[in-house]
A and B are shown apart, each in its own frame.
Chain A
């Protein structure tokens, strides 16, 4: 496992400065909560951490190695959960999850389906799933594929209370195993967790209307 750090990060979206001079440090077994109002750059920061967006200014490091020097290694160690669920309606629940397991080089698919309470839906075409069930199917990747770093963008969106509890258990297990995680959420966060408030790094926020991403 390792230490995920960022220093002096800035981000521009559509020529607007979203945040600047942002630093963070997440170690083994630690979880960083990103908080901030709409448009403060939570999703943008997560996408930069994942490598989907280029680092314009500043540096990201894993165990001291700049990510720019080890992109393949970074992709192999992270799991990203974004706003979209990446679920194919024409494939069954099992086929959807099996595909993402295969793409990551294998994983415990059956156990993950059980853990996220999808076992009874395994053979159902995914187009019949509700929004919350689709989200659970997306989150089941977390339990199926081992990864050191979880990047979660409002993972509890459209989850009911029981499913949110399953997610919290999965996160707790991940952290107990020495993984680390970064999560953006609107909701409450545990008072003992590490919190990064993005509005304190805001650039010119006055003219920034709706969320950019």
Chain B
């Protein structure tokens, strides 16, 4: 997913730039997601034992599940602070359509969490003894899958605004919706590892992403309008 027009001064670019700037200034948030991602993956060899063959076989699944959980972890800050400090009301009232604002915020979220996850994923593959043939497919699958996570998770974050235990509610709402991305993400890497073509799985991941780009903004915008009442 690319930012349509990041030139300074355009409302869309301003919103993306603001969210990235906030994420970088409050660097702990973004960093924590990466550290969490690494820690979860590192726990697996300790849990299932250091047998290289077993680790190599489960590597793709472990990395994908950890990526889902890490994406979850960062999701609730997407609208929470804007809701608390009154920014959300002003965003809802600003001339830029709320659907586009949601795309901008999801883009910023992906750039500050999804992209770093993709960058550290090869290191973790190495740690889990993943076969070299799996890396290109894993990176492609993550590049197609993690934007969907930001979009779907964003709908959950918008829906759970104002709920008392929004973090838990958000997980319950969103994790089941992540399942298709997980299934095709893992099976793409598995196909790559066994030497067969992963094109079908990658196309489905791309399709899921296109579906999320088309549908998530409307769902999220409706939820945000409710939350701003």
Q: Is the CB of B95 within 8 A of A102?
A: no
| Cβ–Cβ < 8 Å partners of B92 in chain A | 52
Give chain B nearest CB distance to A184 CB in angstroms.
Answer: 15
* Minimum CB distance partner of B82 in chain A: A86
Tally chain B residues at the interface, Cβ within 8 Å.
28
Choose among B21, B22, B25, B94 the residue that contacts A75 (Cβ–Cβ < 8 A): B94
- Once bound together, how far apart are the Cα atoms of A82 and B84, in whole Å? 13
Does B140 reach chain A (CB closer than 8 Å)?
no
What distance in Å separates the Cβ of B34 from its nearest Cβ neighbour in chain A? Answer: 19
**Given A90-B22, A103-B11, A103-B14; A80-B93 close (CB under 8 Å):** yes
Q: In this assembly, does B229 line the interface, its C-beta being within 8 Å of a C-beta of chain A? A: yes
Return the CB mask of B196-212 against A: 1 if under 8 Å, else 0: 00000000000000000
Q: Which residues, 83 to 127 on A, are CB-close (under 8 Å) to B?
A: 83-88, 90-91, 95, 98-100, 102-106
Which residues of chain B have a CB within 8 Å of any CB of chain A?
8-11, 13-15, 18, 21-22, 25-26, 81, 84-87, 89-97, 228-229
Chain A interface residue bracket vs B: 20 to 34
If over half of A's interface residues share one DSSP class (helix, strand or loop), that class is named, otherwise mixed; here it is: loop
Contact B95 A75, beta carbon cutoff 8 Å: yes
Contacting residues, chain B, for A47 (C-beta < 8 A): 229
20 further contact pairs, Cβ within 8 A, besides A53-B229, A84-B85, A102-B13? A52-B89, A54-B229, A72-B97, A80-B89, A80-B90, A84-B84, A85-B85, A86-B89, A87-B85, A88-B85, A90-B22, A90-B25, A90-B26, A91-B22, A95-B18, A95-B21, A103-B14, A104-B94, A105-B95, A106-B9
B90 touching A100 by the CB < 8 A rule?
Answer: yes
A131 in the interface (beta carbon within 8 A):
no
Residue numbers in A under 8 Å from B26 (CB-CB): 90
A80 to B93, CA, bound (A): 8
Rounded to whole angstroms, the CA-CA distance of A98 and B10 in the bound complex is 11
In contact, B25 and A78 (Cβ under 8 angstroms): no
Known interface pairs A80-B93, A95-B21; A85-B9 also in contact (CB < 8 Å)? no
- Quick check: A76 and B25 within 8 Å, CB to CB? no
Interface residues of A (CB under 8 A from B): 47, 50-54, 72, 75-76, 78, 80, 82-88, 90-91, 95, 98-100, 102-106
- What's the nearest-Cβ distance from chain A to residue B4, in Å? 15
CA distance A78 to B21 in the complex (A): 27
Main secondary structure, interface of B, reads: helix
User: A83-B86, A90-B26, A99-B18 are known contacts. Are A51 and B10 too (CB-CB below 8 A)?
Assistant: no
Assuming the contacts A52-B92, A80-B93, asked whether A86 and B86 have C-beta atoms less than 8 A apart, the reply is yes
Q: How far is the CB of A84 from chain B (nearest CB, A)?
A: 2
The listed residue (A72, A80, A86) touching B87 by CB distance below 8 A is: A86
In the bound assembly, the distance between CA atoms of A90 and B18 in angstroms comes to 10
Residue among B10, B14, B25, B97 making CB contact with A99, cutoff 8 Å? B14
A53-B229, A91-B18, A91-B22 known; A102 and B89 CB under 8 Å?
no
Measured between beta carbons, the chain A residues less than 8 angstroms from B95 are: 72, 75-76, 103-105
Partner of B21, one of A53, A91, A104: A91
Q: B13 — which chain A residues lie within 8 A by C-beta?
A: 102
Cβ A103 vs Cβ B87 within 8 A = no
Nearest B-chain residue to A53, judged by Cβ: B229
Q: Which residues of B lie under 8 Å from residue A104 when comparing CB positions?
A: 11, 94-95
B11-A88 in contact (CB<8A):
no
Q: For residue B92, which residue of chain A has the nearest CB?
A: A52
**CB <8 Å contact, B86 and A84:** yes
A83→B85 CA distance, assembly (Å): 10
Closest 5 CB pairs of A and B: A84-B86, A102-B14, A90-B25, A86-B86, A86-B87
